[in-house]
Chains A and B, each alone.
Chain A
């Protein structure tokens, strides 16, 4: 079955540091890939997505590129802020015919950014 493996945290960075959170996946078909973010006490929000190989998703300074050859979708940001402190989830969804579009999640990575 499908699975997502992401870097385990917690990750603690200073403001303006570079962020990378690794994510790799296994899937039977051609999945869409996502990064969701969960701020303290809230539900999940879509941060960015990529629906086919070589697509780059980007939002709020975060980027991730869909690499089919390495089955990866690593999240990066050049300069993190305190407000980026949250839990980040990598996820995939199969979009083949008859799919239920369910999300398969990684275990999440807690990011803390200190001033």
Chain B
């Protein structure tokens, strides 16, 4: 089992460019999350999904969109990248009752 995987691992964008980060999981998690990690800030929730076809806003959703067309995939989109979106992005999956979120390895994004 691959667990939770993220693509790509690294990316550099210019301001105004767009991109999509892919999170894939083979653990049958119902819930999936996108967090961003910034120095001295811990991790903050961007968007999440409680099941296929559903999405909801987290703590810092502005500038991002998400989609969950298939249960195993959760996509995070940046339509017009800004330097403030330079961060490390983590995806996580969760099955209620297990008390453990499983994290992917992260995507390091730099916006110049």
Contact = CB atoms under 8 A, between A and B. Distances in A.
Nearest to A108: B42
Contact of B100 (A46, A105, A106, A107): A46
Contacts of B50: 100
Contact of A107 (B31, B41, B92): B41
Contacts of B48: 100, 102
Contacts of B31: 100-101
Given A100-B56, A102-B48, A43 B101 contact: no
A105 B38 CA distance: 12
Interface string B39-76: 01111110010100000101000000000000000000
Which size bracket describes the interface of B in this complex?
A: 20 to 34
Interface residues of A, number: 20
A45 B102 CA distance: 7
Contacts of B33: 102-103
A85 to B, nearest CB: 18
Contacts of B42: 4, 89, 105-108
B103 A43 contact: yes
Interface of B: 4, 31, 33, 35, 40-45, 48, 50, 56, 58, 90, 92, 94, 96, 99-101, 103-106
Interface of A: 4, 32, 34, 42-46, 49, 51, 89, 93, 100-103, 105-108
17 contacts: A32-B99, A42-B105, A42-B106, A43-B90, A43-B105, A43-B106, A44-B90, A45-B103, A49-B100, A51-B99, A101-B101, A102-B58, A103-B92, A105-B43, A105-B44, A106-B42, A107-B40
